Structure 1
């Protein structure tokens, strides 16, 4: 009876339902076996898709309805395994087992139940977390095609505060990605740039035909356009909220288009106040600090509470945030370069292994700091594209002195510079005569 009990416990764990088919309620056993074989089939199909058709796998598992189904199935499996385990324990007739083995058999039953039913419960929980995270971060708008073979995404680092009238983007960059190769170039736009033009189809182009000046906010600079649109011109963007955006974001997209000459398909807004959460969730970010940077303080460095020292360091969220934001003792142009360095470091360290091992923390941080109008249906495409991007150096174009004078920019020259940098290169090494 002791051997029989051990065999039933192991069979129930390895092939749920088999214990009932052999020694108990065969109807319940057939239900358990059917569910077990179905689960194995789903796992095999999922594994095959993940290995051979990863884009299709990501597309399927990021649909809301699929995540709902996965969550429901995991709950159902957890309940079924609980029922099967309790019924198996009844079949053990543990009182007939050897006295010395009874406790071990009971303990093994509890442990294996925790692994099977507990694992299914955890799977259901993570499916729910994934569904909530994706719904919170990604938009549900239309899928935009690449323009001239590229996707151009506006990256905004929002820096709201009690001393500011609304949010003003502290970081403004355009990430231009080749839709086939994944080769990426980031374009840094100075937040203090003046006379910013808008794209021809922008409703603000009629209000500011000579660029962004004579505005209603305190300073007519590039990063003030967000506040101007949010507080004064929301009526010009009546569909923004329904499309997962806002008047300020749409105005910033049109300003970025006017400056760069590129078509901006999507945006990503990062709340810099919550940015530290994501860095901490990743376990820190490794960067090489090239100069001593103050935390806090004013232009005269009064009130500095701490310094970030030079050298290769793994910065936690708090220090990474200040690495990107510290402005005193260095120029805005230096700060833009540090922000670009930080973005590249995060992209490099944002690996599948890192995400899987810290999934819940990263998901919770993401819902608090990231918002985008990239459709959830394009997630698989961008995951594939990001994997290609990670394998290549990220080029950078900084619209800063001496290349560009933010107080008196030559926008025609800026557009020519960007067009030249993004133009496909032609390999002439093997041709010509």
Structure 2
């Protein structure tokens, strides 16, 4: 009876339902075996997709109804395995097993139950976390095709720190990605750039035909476009909210198009105040600090709360945020370079293994700080593209002095610079004698 009890507990764990077929209710056993075989089949299909059709797998598992189904199935399996395990313990008849083995058999049953039913419960929980995170991050934007073979995404860092009122897009970059190779170029736009033009189809182009001048906000600089549109011209963007955007963000996209000459398909907004949570969730980010940077303080470096010292180091969220924000001891151009360095460092260290081991914390941080109008249906495509991007160096264009004078920018020259960088002329020559 002791051997029998051990065998029943083991086969129930390995092939749920088999213990009932062998020694109990065949009806319950057939239900358990059917569910087990179905699960094995689904896992086999999932492995096959992972190995050979990974993009299709990501598309399927990030589809909200599928996540609901996965969550429901995991809960159902957890309940079924709990019932089967308790029934197996009844069939084992511990009272007839050797006295010294009873405690061990019972303990093994509890451990195996925790592995099976507990694992299914955790799977259901993570499916719910994934569903909630994706729905909170991704907007209702339309699926856009690449333009001239590229996807151009506006990256906005909204600094809503404790010492500021409202959100300001102090970090403004355009990530231009080759739609086939994944080769990426980031373009840094100074927040203080003046006379910003808007794209030809922008509703603000008619209001500011000579660029962003004579506006209602205090300073007509690039990052003030967001505030201007949000407070004064929200009626010009009636469909923005439906696509997961806002008047300010749409105006910033159109301004970025005017500056770069590129078509901006999507945006990604990161709240720099919550950015610290994401870095902490990743376990910190390694960067090389070139200059001693103050934490807090004013332009005269009064009331500084601390310093970030030079050298290669792993920054936690708090210090990474100040590495990106600090500017009183250096220039805005240095600040833009640091922000680009930080973005590249995070992209490099955002590995699948890191994400999986810290999934819940990363998901919770991401849902608080990241917002985009990229449709959820394009997630698999951009995941594949990001994988290619990570394997290549990221090129950078900084529209800062001495290349560009933000107070008097030559936008025709900027367009030429960006166009030449993204599509270099063919250097091959012919007719050599």
* TM-score, length of structure 1 as denominator length: 0.98
Contact 1:199 1:205 in 2 (8 A): yes
Give the equivalent residue in structure 1 for 2:110: 110
Q: Where does structure 2 lack aligned partners over 5 or more consecutive residues?
A: none
Q: Where does structure 1 lack aligned partners over 5 or more consecutive residues?
A: none
Question: Is the alpha carbon distance of 1:319 and 1:161 closer, same or farther for their aligned partners in structure 2, counting shifts above 3 Å?
Answer: closer
Give the equivalent residue in structure 1 for 2:71: 71
Give the equivalent residue in structure 1 for 2:286: 286
Q: How does 1:269-308 map to 2 (within 5 A)?
A: 269-308=269-308
- Number of equivalenced pairs: 432
Give the equivalent residue in structure 2 for 1:186: 186
Give deviations 1:58-111, integer Å, cap 9, x for gaps.
Answer: 010000010000000000000000000011111001100000000000111111
User: How far apart, CA to CA, are the structure 2 residues paired with 1:375 and 1:432?
Assistant: 50
Give the equivalent residue in structure 1 for 2:324: 324
Question: Is the alpha carbon distance of 1:425 and 1:78 closer, same or farther for their aligned partners in structure 2, counting shifts above 3 Å?
Answer: farther
User: How far apart, CA to CA, are the structure 2 residues paired with 1:186 and 1:60?
Assistant: 30
Contact 1:184 1:395 in 2 (8 A): yes
Q: Report the secondary structure of 2:374's partner residue.
A: coil
**Is the aligned partner of 1:423 residue 2:423?**
yes
Question: Is the alpha carbon distance of 1:110 and 1:334 closer, same or farther for their aligned partners in structure 2, counting shifts above 3 Å?
Answer: same
Question: Residue 165 of structure 1: CA displacement?
Answer: 5.5
Question: Residue 426 of structure 1: CA displacement?
Answer: 4.4
CA RMSD of aligned residues (A): 1.2
Question: Residue 51 of structure 1: CA displacement?
Answer: 1.3
User: How far apart, CA to CA, are the structure 2 residues paired with 1:329 and 1:358?
Assistant: 35
Deviation >3 Å, runs of 4+: 161-166, 424-429
Question: Residue 210 of structure 1: CA displacement?
Answer: 0.5
User: How far apart, CA to CA, are the structure 2 residues paired with 1:98 and 1:426?
Assistant: 84
Question: Residue 162 of structure 1: CA displacement?
Answer: 6.5
Question: Is the alpha carbon distance of 1:105 and 1:304 closer, same or farther for their aligned partners in structure 2, counting shifts above 3 Å?
Answer: same
Give the equivalent residue in structure 1 for 2:45: 45
Question: Is the alpha carbon distance of 1:53 and 1:425 closer, same or farther for their aligned partners in structure 2, counting shifts above 3 Å?
Answer: farther
Contact 2:161 2:272 in 1 (8 A): no
User: How far apart, CA to CA, are the structure 2 residues paired with 1:296 and 1:386?
Assistant: 34
User: How far apart, CA to CA, are the structure 2 residues paired with 1:10 and 1:127?
Assistant: 28
Question: Is the alpha carbon distance of 1:14 and 1:213 closer, same or farther for their aligned partners in structure 2, counting shifts above 3 Å?
Answer: same
Q: Report the secondary structure of 2:273's partner residue.
A: coil
* TM-score, length of structure 2 as denominator length: 0.98
Give the equivalent residue in structure 1 for 2:168: 168
User: How far apart, CA to CA, are the structure 2 residues paired with 1:173 and 1:279?
Assistant: 20
**Is the aligned partner of 1:93 residue 2:96?**
no
Give the equivalent residue in structure 2 for 1:249: 249
Question: Residue 166 of structure 1: CA displacement?
Answer: 3.4
Question: Residue 161 of structure 1: CA displacement?
Answer: 4.9
User: How far apart, CA to CA, are the structure 1 residues paired with 2:312 and 2:216?
Assistant: 44
Give the equivalent residue in structure 1 for 2:140: 140
Give deviations 1:139-160, integer Å, cap 9, x for gaps.
Answer: 1221000000000000000013
User: How far apart, CA to CA, are the structure 1 residues paired with 2:184 and 2:256?
Assistant: 17
Give the equivalent residue in structure 2 for 1:409: 409
